Structure 1
Amino acid sequence: MSKTHNLNRLAYFAAVVETGSFTKAADRLGVTKAVVSSQVTQLEQELKATLLVRNTRKVSATGAGRLFYTRCTSILNQAEEAFSEMSQLSEHPVGVLRMTAPHDYGTAVIAPLVARFRRQYPDCQVELYLGDDHSDLMAGDLDLAIRIGWLRDSTLLARKMGGFRQLLVGASFGQFDHIRHPDDLADRPFIANKALSDPLQWVFQSASGDTVSARLQSDLSIDSAPAIMAAVKEGAGLAILPDYLVRDHLMSGTLTKVLPEWRLPEGGIFVVLPASKFRAAKVSVFTEMLRQTERARVQ
């Protein structure tokens, strides 16, 4: 008679390998460290093999552990797809929707959208992680990621939700009448966005199609777009910011658009999904809500 194994232990083991820590695995799974350790120990006893090497700083897989982890992830991914397929049959999204988004876009657009999503689908919980690093969707156990700008090559599935304009803005009380050409910006205080690879080099395009490459000067650098906007409002200098962040401030008059007849490169707004045949209803519905939000925003 064959022995019945507790397949739940595969998820505990995989979480430890992916996070490199019993504590982090426990946090991801919502259980105690002792439970994770006990489940992995029992798994090793069942297999009569050492799967993990434990030290004071990190937990890593043995050769046998790496081989077993490959098989585990295949099984767990198939199980997740099976649950995702079944969840599509549900009329309303259910379960936990886990996603990540950049700080500025996440605060300005995604957080309000999440609130509407929760009101409309109270049986679905949401975990939103804000950060400008490109989180690993598989290792981070995420359902989707919002990416802003220009995507690098990826094996993941990317769907464009919309786009945004970059705008040169200044404080409403600033004097900008004499700025009529990008060359006029050379001696103007500018706040650089340190999150960009080259925050001082910009290409402007006129209505007639002429392009001008401008190298700006900056004595103030900040790595957060909302913080840059706050500094601009206080008169610290000009800055280039996305339209979704400054739109309300331009309408209220706290910020003003500089060189409005010149355009800067536009960026895209994408939903990035793990490669999978099936999409859970919670993912499909939220993605469509974001698409509609972007469509309404640019009108």
Structure 2
Amino acid sequence: MNLNRLSYFAAVVDTGSFTRAAERLGITKAVVSHHVAQLERDLGTSLLIRTTRRVHPTEAGIMFHARCGLILREAEDAFGELAQAAVKPTGTLRITAPNDYGAAVVAPVVAAFAARYPACHVELTLSDLMMNLTSGKIDMAVRVGWLPDSSLQARKIGSFRQILVGSPRFADRIASALEPDDIADLPFISNTALRDPLVWEFSRGDPDRRAVQMQARVAVDTTPGVLEVVRAGGGLSVLPEYLVANELASGRLIQGLPDWSLPSGGIYTVYPAARFRPPKVTAFAEMLIAAVLQQN
């Protein structure tokens, strides 16, 4: 199959117009129209709905466009890999990471990577939503917590503790809470980005496990937002150690139930399914792993 036709079709969908697609590609509208029509004939299905104002993909076109992105990115990376061989990474590196971990850990690594490899351009997307890695628009994701089963390629590069914390405003009540049940009535800040933000299982050795149902005084949809409410004295919450270590060391936050542990989460690099990874991805992953190991 002619890969140019895939790029022409993808450009039409991305721009919503044969004219704008031709302008982006630097060719004539007639060439774009001809090759897209030939692609539809080759596939035996309509990919686009053409109107006087805009071009829209059909249901089949939407599915095929998602695949095209991945195919074209892999082709681009394959040519780049052959051309560059073992030289320094080049091109655009697109990474996604959660808001909290991305800002605290990934962003400094991005800065170091950009300084080390000036031929690379980095696009870092911080979002607590899991972006679709099969679209071909993301080279690598950093994810924390617990990974769902998927066909993606993942590697665990570290782990983190979860800690019950509160502001000094609650110092007396935190100090008097010796058992998990003692915190059930304390004001709690729930993180609605989590699957089950109000039930927490504490353990003190394998046989001694206690699940506590918390009562939310405030609900926040991002982990950094939860931290700010806790800092301001809104209540207690469970937060990852990488986000609160400095706060605990400085006394701005206090740990609750220090003799009890919460389940640890994992730190993962996740990649689209592919036969190879471009040098830019491998180089960044190595720098991130080094940073995680240094923290631990």
Q: Which runs of 5+ in 1 are unaligned?
A: none
* TM-score (normalizing by structure 1): 0.84
Aligned length: 285
Superposition deviation, residue 116 in structure 1: 0.8
Q: Counterparts of 2:125 and 2:178 in 1: how far apart (Å)?
A: 41
User: Which amino acid is 1:264 matched to?
Assistant: L
Question: Is 1:87–1:93's contact at 8 Å kept on the other side of the alignment?
Answer: no
Counterpart of 1:10 (choices 6, 21, 43) is 6
User: Which amino acid is 1:171 matched to?
Assistant: S
Q: Which residue of 2 aligns with 1:294?
A: 292
Work out whether 1:251 is the aligned partner of 2:253: no
Which secondary structure does the structure 2 equivalent of 1:177 belong to? Answer: helix
Structure 1 pair 294/113, CA: closer, same or farther in 2 (3 Å)? Answer: same
CA deviation digits over 1:144-165, x for unaligned, max 9?
A: 1111111111111001111111
CA deviation digits over 1:177-212, x for unaligned, max 9?
A: 101111111211100001112111010011465111
Q: Counterparts of 2:279 and 2:98 in 1: how far apart (Å)?
A: 23
Work out whether 1:44 is the aligned partner of 2:42: no
User: Which amino acid is 2:243 matched to?
Assistant: L
Structure 1 pair 140/171, CA: closer, same or farther in 2 (3 Å)? Answer: farther
User: Which amino acid is 2:35 matched to?
Assistant: L
Superposition deviation, residue 280 in structure 1: 0.8
Question: Is 1:190–1:237's contact at 8 Å kept on the other side of the alignment?
Answer: yes
Work out whether 1:99 is the aligned partner of 2:92: no
Q: Counterparts of 1:215 and 1:113 in 2: how far apart (Å)?
A: 37
Q: Which residue of 1 aligns with 2:229?
A: 231
User: Which residues in structure 2 correspond to 1:102-141 (within 5 Å)?
Assistant: 102-141=98-137
User: Which amino acid is 2:267 matched to?
Assistant: I
Q: Which residue of 2 aligns with 1:164?
A: 160
Q: Counterparts of 1:229 and 1:60 in 2: how far apart (Å)?
A: 43
Q: Counterparts of 2:214 and 2:7 in 1: how far apart (Å)?
A: 51
Q: Which runs of 5+ in 2 are unaligned?
A: none
User: Which amino acid is 2:179 matched to?
Assistant: H
Question: Is 1:12–1:36's contact at 8 Å kept on the other side of the alignment?
Answer: no
Which secondary structure does the structure 2 equivalent of 1:138 belong to? Answer: helix
Q: Which residue of 1 aligns with 2:23?
A: 35
* TM-score (normalizing by structure 2): 0.84
Q: Counterparts of 1:129 and 1:137 in 2: how far apart (Å)?
A: 13
User: Which residues in structure 2 correspond to 1:125-204 (within 5 Å)?
Assistant: 125-175=121-171, 176-204=174-202
Between stretches 75-84 and 283-292, larger displacement belongs to: 75-84
Counterpart of 1:260 (choices 258, 261, 265) is 258
User: Which amino acid is 1:43 matched to?
Assistant: H
Q: Counterparts of 2:140 and 2:5 in 1: how far apart (Å)?
A: 25
Question: Is 2:168–2:252's contact at 8 Å kept on the other side of the alignment?
Answer: yes
Which secondary structure does the structure 2 equivalent of 1:91 belong to? Answer: coil
Q: Counterparts of 1:181 and 1:62 in 2: how far apart (Å)?
A: 55
Structure 1 pair 248/88, CA: closer, same or farther in 2 (3 Å)? Answer: farther
Question: Is 1:207–1:261's contact at 8 Å kept on the other side of the alignment?
Answer: no
Question: Is 1:88–1:280's contact at 8 Å kept on the other side of the alignment?
Answer: no
The structure with more helix, counted as a fraction of residues = 2
Give the RMSD, CA atoms, in angstroms. 3.2
Superposition deviation, residue 54 in structure 1: 3.7
Structure 1 pair 112/46, CA: closer, same or farther in 2 (3 Å)? Answer: same
Work out whether 1:220 is the aligned partner of 2:218: yes
Q: Counterparts of 1:214 and 1:57 in 2: how far apart (Å)?
A: 55
Question: Is 1:146–1:269's contact at 8 Å kept on the other side of the alignment?
Answer: yes
Question: Is 1:225–1:241's contact at 8 Å kept on the other side of the alignment?
Answer: yes
Question: Is 2:177–2:183's contact at 8 Å kept on the other side of the alignment?
Answer: yes
The percent identity for this pair of structures is: 45
Q: Which residue of 2 aligns with 1:282?
A: 280
Which secondary structure does the structure 2 equivalent of 1:250 belong to? Answer: helix
Q: Following superposition, which runs of at least 4 residues in structure 1 exceed 4 angstroms of deviation?
A: 31-34, 45-50, 55-58, 65-75
User: Which amino acid is 1:91 matched to?
Assistant: V
CA deviation digits over 1:213-254, x for unaligned, max 9?
A: 111111210011111111111110001011111112112221
Superposition deviation, residue 257 in structure 1: 1.1
Which secondary structure does the structure 1 equivalent of 2:23 belong to? Answer: helix
Structure 1 pair 258/73, CA: closer, same or farther in 2 (3 Å)? Answer: closer
Superposition deviation, residue 107 in structure 1: 1.0
User: Which amino acid is 2:36 matched to?
Assistant: E
